[in-house]
Amino acid sequence: MKLGLIGFPLEHSLSPVMQEAALRSAGLEGSYRLLETPPAFLRARLQEVRRVYAGVNVTIPHKETVLPYLDGLSPEAQAIGAVNTIVREGDRLIGHNTDAPGFISGLDEAGIAYRGRRALILGAGGAARAVAYALKEEGAQVALYNRTPERAKALCQALGLHLVTVESLEIAVRSADLLINTTSVGLKDPSSSPLPPGLLPRAGVVVDIVYNPPITRLLREAQQAGLPTLGGLPMLVWQGALAFELWTGYRADVQAMYAAARAQLAQTPI
Ligand code: ATR
């Protein structure tokens, strides 16, 4: 079973070790390769996928631009407007989005409640879109703040979210039951945070979808303030586990995927 990841650039991805651990655990023969694909080669890469791959993951910068090349979309991928998993069905390529249910599975695994709760999302990129869609579908009250207000406004209108402006940010953060950083602030940089120092929920859970470093500055400050936190690894592992199940029809060994991802992360420079 040939699997892989389409993106550009593709440094330090944890997906090959996670997916190969899941394949081994399920007793399946197969491989998961990094398919580095500059934008100009996306069309050709998808032709190759159609010929020889059972499925692939899709990452930056192709999650949205890949849509016109596909033959069908799952309802989630359609609503989010982004695809992170392609499944080949015969000679058809079907786009799915496992980022959204992957985020929810990570919350469920950690015992974090969201239904009916006030969730505040920081960021308005593709990751914010998947997280916002997932939380909204699951019955959370979702608000969103972004550095660039026009992007926040567009996303809030598209998904029916509450728009938080810079003026209302402080009150929104303090009253959030769930604060989720989906911006790239803190990625490979333990010294930066998407919020000013000292601004944290009064009693909410703080989630950062950044997984490298495992504890971002935002999470460290939340922990120091005594708040419960969740890092980005669960969303990464669960989106991969759900993709594996779509490709193979086998249950993914999530613990084996965690172990493989943690081992690789320990060797990966921040
Ligand atoms: P992705 O698809 O991974 O979510 P993206 O579309 O590039 O990536 O979105 C990145 C997000 O991080 C955006 O919300 C971006 O804010 P802008 O819309 O204002 O660009 C946010 N972001 C990146 N760097 C930031 C910074 N230094 N401060 C605040 N927000 C930042």
Give the distance (Å) from ligand 1 centre to CA of residue 249. 35
Q: Is 198 exposed, middle or buried (0-12, 13-18, 19+ CB in 10 A)?
A: exposed
Q: What confidence tens digit (pLDDT) does each residue in 174-194 have?
A: 999 999 999 999 998 999 999
Domains (ranges, CATH) in the chain? 2-98+234-267 (3.40.50.10860), 113-227 (3.40.50.720)
Sequence-distant (6+) residues with CB within 8 A of 243 are: 19, 55, 57, 84, 85, 96, 98
What's residue 269's pLDDT? 80
Q: What confidence tens digit (pLDDT) does each residue in 215-242 have?
A: 999 999 999 999 999 999 999 999 999 9
Residue 201 contacts residue 228 (beta carbons within 8 Å) = no
Residue (of 218, 201, 200) closest to 209 by Cα position: 218
β-strand partners of 206 = 179, 229
* Helix (H/G/I), strand (E/B), else coil: 13: coil
* From 84, 147, 208, 216, mutation site for ligand 1 pocket: most ligand atoms within 8 A of C-beta: 147
Residue 185 CB less than 6 A away from ligand 1: yes
How far is 39 from 149, CA to CA, in rounded Å? 28
Q: What confidence tens digit (pLDDT) does each residue in 89-109 have?
A: 999 999 999 999 999 999 999
Peptide bond into 9 cis (omega under 30): yes
Instruction: Tell me which residues are annotated as active site.
Output: 63
Banded model confidence at residue 12, pLDDT cuts 50, 70, 90: confident
